[in-house]
Structure 1
Amino acid sequence: MTDSLNRFTNRVENYRKYRPGYPPEVLSVLQQVTGFNTQWVVADLGAGTGISSQLFLEHGNEVYAVEPNRSMRQAARELFGDQARLHIVEGTAEATTLPDAAIDLVVAAQAFHWFNIAATRLEVRRILKPQGWVALIWNHRQTQGSKFLEEYEQLLCTYGRDYAAIRDSHRDQQRLDDFFGNGQTGSNGSYQTFEIPHEKWLTYEDLRGLLMSASYVPLEAQSGHANMLLDLRSIFARHAKDGEVLMKYQTELFVGQ
């Protein structure tokens, strides 16, 4: 795969405007499993433009949004302004720059598949408080259940440069097992899995923006871009109802220590 640090640089605006958020049920699960509350300090690794950080800020938490990409950090600053509880940090999952034993909950939303597992595990252990928790989150777009979902998936398979590899890395069981540990780092290696369905109606502008936020599709100056948008327009025209199509997601949440 190409460099994960820079592959979103030219997609920041679409990423900020059109990527889906995370359902509030994520917070309910964390409260039930971990005792999560507003006093907890959260580190959001690979925070991007702050989509996942926003969920925890609105809950009332102090959040350290750790992001290596300068354009992404700037977009987060523009979105959130000078919120006192948000700290935007230049760093990586493997080297956050955060203090030792300072964090109650480490979160990685739509980002864990880019991390070096061994280095991230050591860094997370360093910054977590002794009884701290980790939550790994993905929004999985549903690929079956309607003709629209199936045709959109085929569009990505046709035009996405390394789409299949990225898609499959989201559900790499071995990476999860390696991260949560086998005793080498003092972890008991256990985690729980939760699935939360949600959906969103999209206009053509929304759908196009969502597509162009993906790191694996061709940009305007690249080969295949024009044909991809022609195909996208055709898919939308076939399946839109009252000017919108229904995108369905399954938020997958892995919670452990």
Structure 2
Amino acid sequence: MPHQSTQRFSNRVGDYSRARPDYPTAVFDWLHDLGALSDNSQVADMGSGTGISTLPLLTHAAKVYAVEPNDAMRQSAETNLAGHIGFISINGTAEATTLPDQCVDLIVAGQAFHWFDPAPTRQEWQRILKPTGQVVLMWNDRDIHSTAFLLGYEAMLQTHGTDYREVNHTQIDEQRVAQFYGHPPRCQRFPNKQVFDLDGMLARLRSSSYTPAPDQLGFAPMMDAARALFEQHEQHGQIEFLYQTVVYCGSLCSN
């Protein structure tokens, strides 16, 4: 995987699980309406992390293989989702899932596809998908131009981030998505938001792999800037993160 992505979040698991956004219920209703997801579906959740996308999938499918190579994140999901019927934790990657041939109806990658190597990922997914299987790629995109706070947050990341420009998932544009599918897939956008107090906002910031870790020189200045940003924009002790949840759905055309 590019950027040594399998280990990037090992020291951020607690903040990631606590502060990353989930996915709107409307996403899964849309997939159901398309016929891509049903109560009988066998699903592979790629780069499943701490289980943020796995949990809602478990309520809409018969079985979910949560494929995650990072030990700390996978163990967090196993703790969070223990006892959920249909949950199967897999130590694997998008490029080498360890799953059998033609075993899943749906593959989902939530906030993860930009970490994958596209060519071997596509080959592996074609192997494990059933002939009528579908692929869903989805991201929670911060609506950075919607509020003064989010404009300031984006500027802070540009200033204090370590490799924010290099690994920002927004580099995956519609052309690259269509190239992966082999055709332009269906696309839908859904509004989403989080409301944070100061501690929650700082956890959200620390959860991003492109921000300095606490033992790095840039951490303290970033946290000072974040506190100042919160104080400037908070309303009744809270701020809002507004998102557009972007969802692609389609089959993988044969090469």
TM tier, smaller: over 0.9
- Which residue of 231, 247, 251 maps to 2:245? 251
Q: Tell me what 1:47 maps to.
A: 48
Contact 1:117 1:175 in 2 (8 A): no
Contact 1:117 1:178 in 2 (8 A): no
Deviations 1:213-247, CA, capped at 9 Å, x for gaps: 00010011101111111110011011111110011
Take 1:247 and 1:118, find their aligned partners in 2: how far apart are those partners? 34
The correspondence of residues 50-69 of structure 1 with structure 2, limited to 5 A, is 50-69=51-70
Contact 1:91 1:97 in 2 (8 A): yes
Q: Tell me what 2:141 maps to.
A: 140
Q: CA deviation at 1:171?
A: 2.9
- Tell me, yes or no, if structure 1 residue 14 matches structure 2 residue 32: no
SS in 1 for 2:121: helix
Take 2:171 and 2:74, find their aligned partners in 1: how far apart are those partners? 23
Number of aligned residue pairs: 250
**Identical positions, percent:** 41
Deviations 1:63-95, CA, capped at 9 Å, x for gaps: 000000100111001111132310000000000
Q: Tell me what 2:207 maps to.
A: 213
TM-score by length of 1: 0.94
- Tell me, yes or no, if structure 1 residue 102 matches structure 2 residue 97: no
Contact 1:43 1:63 in 2 (8 A): yes
Take 1:10 and 1:87, find their aligned partners in 2: how far apart are those partners? 24
Take 1:159 and 1:69, find their aligned partners in 2: how far apart are those partners? 25
Unaligned runs of 5+ in 2: none
Unaligned runs of 5+ in 1: 182-188
Q: Residue type of the partner of 2:134?
A: W
- Which residue of 235, 246, 254 maps to 1:241? 235
Take 1:204 and 1:227, find their aligned partners in 2: how far apart are those partners? 16
Contact 1:34 1:133 in 2 (8 A): no
Q: Tell me what 1:184 maps to.
A: none
Q: CA deviation at 1:145?
A: 1.8
Larger CA deviation: 56-65 vs 243-252: 56-65
Q: In structure 2, do the counterparts of structure 1 residues 35 and 8 end up closer, same or farther at CA, with 3 Å as the change threshold?
A: closer
SS in 1 for 2:93: coil
Deviations 1:4-46, CA, capped at 9 Å, x for gaps: 1111110011101110100011111111223521111110000
Q: CA deviation at 1:169?
A: 4.7
